[in-house]
């Protein structure tokens, strides 16, 4: 049986590098999209389905 | 903000003006099948626990041997129950967080059918002994291919839903679900395909990277997605800090993938790789504590709700188990501790606290929250739900603590060359007896939960008011 150990290792680690690069790109995107800015906390109210539930959540 | 309700909640009447009505058919199909597998595989779990105490139990029947039941238990619980339940709950929460309907219920239903075919195929093949012999990757190759196809269908449906979202900013649960979809692809392909082309130590190293990341990059992110959604929902309290949740997400994304080699400490792999695995395992404390602090801070002033809010009980107990298991993980990846606990009963104790104590608790909470809403009915019995919680808590703590202490004791014995191995097996009998009775209690939790969910789905107890 041919041993494909090294190609497999290269595959696994290049896939990993690809994931890291993708993560870095999207991490930088979060800065541009305002997740770390002054209004970055507004998004947490999205879990509430209705306006009433949202207002109730804001005041609790 | 637009009101969102499930089709079943309007019960034939007209939806409130301007409300977004979700069909939730895919979520229902996945949830019902996952609960059924939870019950069936729970029976297998009890049989396995009994075999530790009475090894001759059904030992003359090949399909009932430990070697066949154990992979069935592991794969059944991981993919038949937990991942399917997680998929059900993400089919429920992603459209709501995006303010749109699921992109395709038809594709979702096809995914549910394929997933059930895979699980049934897994039951048959593993009982027949068709097993690839790789931890967590026992399924035969055709089923592995089917899992990849199903995952692409699932991921495509959710990514299309997210791409059409009404709100530009994405809540942290969406980030975690997207991470789960991408990381699962990476982890599953490596663990089930790349690993087949390697040999020896390299194969073992890749396999352990897969095993550890199956928990760390599949069940952890999707479990946290559920916790970040259902804790604010069940307590009706906004998350303490979305920014802190993002720190947790990104640190998890960068840290987790390197930790798998800590399963091979003191083994025949490079010291630098072992050291990296240890360093990154300890760094896991950052994402874990970021998440746990956020959940506890969210509950500030709301702890009284735990008295009668069953989903919240499961969620916050799951958070505590998550903290404990993720403190235990980094600590036993240290060389000195690992020399004692590696390969002992400590490890299943740790794994059960993660997969059952933390992530299954999050999924169970999500099921108790979702089922009355998507079926438009009252939960069959709040009291039974409470009983299921206490059965799992008492049984779970008995199971975890017994295996930690027993595993530590076992490790000390193994480190003493004067003790024959068989004596260490005999010495563990009382531990395995407690494990069996704890397992019975946990199975009672599964029984109460499954019955409650099934009775709610099939029963006729309408909700008193629309949500």
Each residue's pLDDT tens digit, B439-462 = 999 999 999 999 999 999 998 777
| Structure letter (DSSP) for residue B16 | P
Residues B262-274 have a mean pLDDT of: 88
Structural domains of chain B ordered from first start? 25-458 (1.20.210.10)
Helix B361-374 and helix B429-458: axis angle, to 10°?
Answer: 10
Q: Is the per-residue pLDDT at B325 higher than 90?
A: yes
B94 → chain A, closest CA residue? A47
The pLDDT value recorded for residue B201 is 87
Residues B246-251 have a mean pLDDT of: 93
Q: Is the per-residue pLDDT at A16 higher than 80?
A: no
Q: Is the per-residue pLDDT at B1 higher than 70?
A: no
B302 → chain A, closest CA residue? A60
B21 → chain A, closest CA residue? A49
Residues B396-415 have a mean pLDDT of: 95
- Flag the least confident range among B277-281, B384-388, B389-393: B277-281
Contact A12 B194 (CB under 8 A): yes
B237 → chain A, closest CA residue? A57
Burial grade of B460 (CB within 10 A; 0-12, 13-18, 19 or more): exposed
The pLDDT value recorded for residue B186 is 84
d(CA B458, CA B364) in angstroms, rounded, equals 18
Q: Give B59 to chain A, closest Cα distance, Å.
A: 36
Residues B90-114 have a mean pLDDT of: 97
| H or E element, residue B21 | strand B20-22
Residues B375-392 have a mean pLDDT of: 96
* Size of the A and B interface in Cβ pairs below 8 Å: 114
Q: Is the per-residue pLDDT at B283 higher than 80?
A: yes
ipTM of the complex: 0.81
Residues B287-316 have a mean pLDDT of: 96
Contact A8 B257 (CB under 8 A): no
Residues B281-308 have a mean pLDDT of: 95
Please give the C-alpha separations between residue A53 and each of A60, B93, B209, B234, in angstroms, as whole numbers: 10, 16, 43, 12
Residue whose C-alpha is closest to residue B366's, from B90, B79, B89, B87: B89
Residues B91-97 have a mean pLDDT of: 96
The Cβ-side half-sphere exposure at B25, using a 13 Å CA radius, reads 11
User: Is some CB atom of chain B closer than 8 A to the CB atom of A21?
Assistant: no
Task: pLDDT band for B314, please (50, 70, 90 cuts).
Answer: very high
Residues B45-57 have a mean pLDDT of: 95
The pLDDT value recorded for residue A57 is 57
pLDDT tens digits, residue range A31-58? 988 899 888 899 999 898 655 565 555 5
Residues 26-45 of A with CB under 8 A from B: 27, 30, 33-36, 40-45
d(CA B183, CA B78) in angstroms, rounded, equals 16
Residues B321-334 have a mean pLDDT of: 94
Q: Give A33 to chain B, closest Cα distance, Å.
A: 8
Q: Give A37 to chain B, closest Cα distance, Å.
A: 9
Residues 128-167 of B with CB under 8 A from A: 167
Residues B322-332 have a mean pLDDT of: 93
Helix, strand or coil, per DSSP, at residue B135:
coil
Domain total for chain A? 1
Contact B186 A56 (CB under 8 A): no
Query: Which among B5, B171, B183 has CB closest to A44?
Result: B171
The pLDDT value recorded for residue B464 is 64
pLDDT tens digits, residue range B180-214? 999 898 889 989 998 888 888 888 988 998 999 88
Residues B236-242 have a mean pLDDT of: 96
Residue B55 sits at φ, ψ, to 5 deg, of -60, -25
d(CA B330, CA B105) in angstroms, rounded, equals 41
Query: Which among A3, A11, A57 has CB closest to B236?
Result: A57
Helix, strand or coil, per DSSP, at residue B213:
helix
Q: Is the per-residue pLDDT at A26 higher than 90?
A: no
The pLDDT value recorded for residue A50 is 59
Task: pLDDT band for B466, please (50, 70, 90 cuts).
Answer: very low
Residues B213-238 have a mean pLDDT of: 95
Task: pLDDT band for B256, please (50, 70, 90 cuts).
Answer: confident
Residues B92-118 have a mean pLDDT of: 97
User: Is some CB atom of chain B closer than 8 A to the CB atom of A59?
Assistant: no
- pTM given for the model: 0.93
- Flag the least confident range among A10-19, B86-95, B409-418: A10-19
Q: Is the per-residue pLDDT at B125 higher than 60?
A: yes
CA terminus-to-terminus distance, chain B:
15
Range of the domain at A46: 5-59
A18 → chain B, closest CA residue? B186
Residues 195-234 of B with CB under 8 A from A: 195, 197-200, 202-203, 206, 209, 229, 232-233
The pLDDT value recorded for residue B73 is 97
User: Is some CB atom of chain B closer than 8 A to the CB atom of A22?
Assistant: yes
The pLDDT value recorded for residue B362 is 98
Please give the C-alpha separations between residue B465 and each of A16, B89, B363, B373, in angstroms, as whole numbers: 50, 23, 25, 11
Residue whose C-alpha is closest to residue B400's, from B345, B334, B326, B447: B345
A41 CB neighbours in chain B (<8 A) are 241-243
The pLDDT value recorded for residue B467 is 43
């Amino acid at each position: 049986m041919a041993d494909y150990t090294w190609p497999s290792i290269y595959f696994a680690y290049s896939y990993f590098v690809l994931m890291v690069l993708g993560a870095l790109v999207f991490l930088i995107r979060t800065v541009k999209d305002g997740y770390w800015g002054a209004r970055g906390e507004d998004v947490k109210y999205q879990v509430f389905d209705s306006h009433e539930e949202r207002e109730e959540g804001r005041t609790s | 903000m637009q009101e969102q309700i499930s089709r079943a909640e309007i019960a034939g009447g007209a939806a409130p003006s301007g409300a977004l009505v979700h069909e939730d058919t895919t979520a229902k199909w996945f949830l019902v099948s996952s609960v059924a597998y939870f019950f069936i595989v729970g029976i297998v779990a009890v049989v396995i626990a009994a075999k530790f105490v009475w090894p001759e139990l059904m030992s003359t029947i090949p399909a009932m041997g430990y070697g066949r039941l154990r992979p069935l238990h592991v794969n059944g619980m991981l993919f038949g129950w937990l991942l399917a339940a997680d998929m059900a709950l993400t089919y429920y929460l992603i459209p709501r967080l995006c303010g749109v309907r699921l992109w395709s219920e038809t594709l979702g239903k096809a995914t549910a059918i394929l997933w059930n075919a895979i699980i049934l195929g897994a039951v048959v093949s593993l009982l027949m002994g068709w097993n690839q012999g790789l931890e967590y990757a026992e399924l035969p190759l055709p089923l592995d291919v089917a899992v990849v196809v199903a995952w692409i269908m699932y991921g495509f449906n959710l990514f299309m839903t997210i791409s059409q979202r009404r709100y530009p900013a994405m809540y942290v649960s969406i980030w975690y679900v997207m991470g789960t979809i991408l990381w699962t692809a990476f982890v599953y392909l490596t663990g089930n395909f790349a690993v087949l082309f390697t040999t020896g130590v390299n194969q073992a190293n890749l396999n352990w990277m897969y095993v550890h990341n199956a928990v760390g990059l599949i069940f952890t992110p999707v479990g946290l997605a559920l916790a970040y959604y259902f804790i604010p929902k069940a307590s009706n309290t906004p998350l303490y800090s979305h920014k802190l949740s993002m720190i947790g997400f990104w640190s998890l994304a960068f840290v987790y993938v390197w930790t798998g080699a800590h399963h091979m400490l003191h083994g025949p792999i490079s010291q630098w790789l072992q050291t990296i695995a240890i360093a990154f395992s300890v760094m896991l404390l950052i994402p874990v504590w970021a998440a746990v602090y956020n959940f506890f801070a969210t509950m500030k002033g709301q702890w009284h709700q735990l008295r009668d809010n069953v989903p919240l009980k499961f969620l916050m107990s799951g958070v505590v188990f998550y903290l404990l298991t993720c403190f235990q993980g980094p600590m036993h990846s240290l060389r000195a501790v690992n020399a004692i606990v590696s390969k002992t009963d400590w490890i299943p104790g740790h794994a059960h606290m993660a997969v059952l104590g933390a992530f299954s608790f999050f999924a169970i909470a999500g099921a108790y929250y979702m089922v009355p809403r998507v079926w438009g009915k009252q939960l069959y019995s709040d009291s039974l739900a409470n009983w299921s919680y206490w059965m799992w808590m008492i049984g779970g703590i008995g199971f975890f603590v017994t295996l930690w202490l027993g595993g530590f004791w076992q490790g000390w014995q193994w480190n003493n060359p004067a003790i024959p191995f068989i004596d260490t097996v005999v010495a563990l009998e009382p531990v395995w007896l407690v494990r069996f009775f704890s397992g019975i209690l946990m199975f009672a939790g599964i029984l109460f939960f499954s019955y409650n969910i099934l009775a709610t789905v099939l029963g006729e107890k309408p909700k008193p008011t629309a949500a």
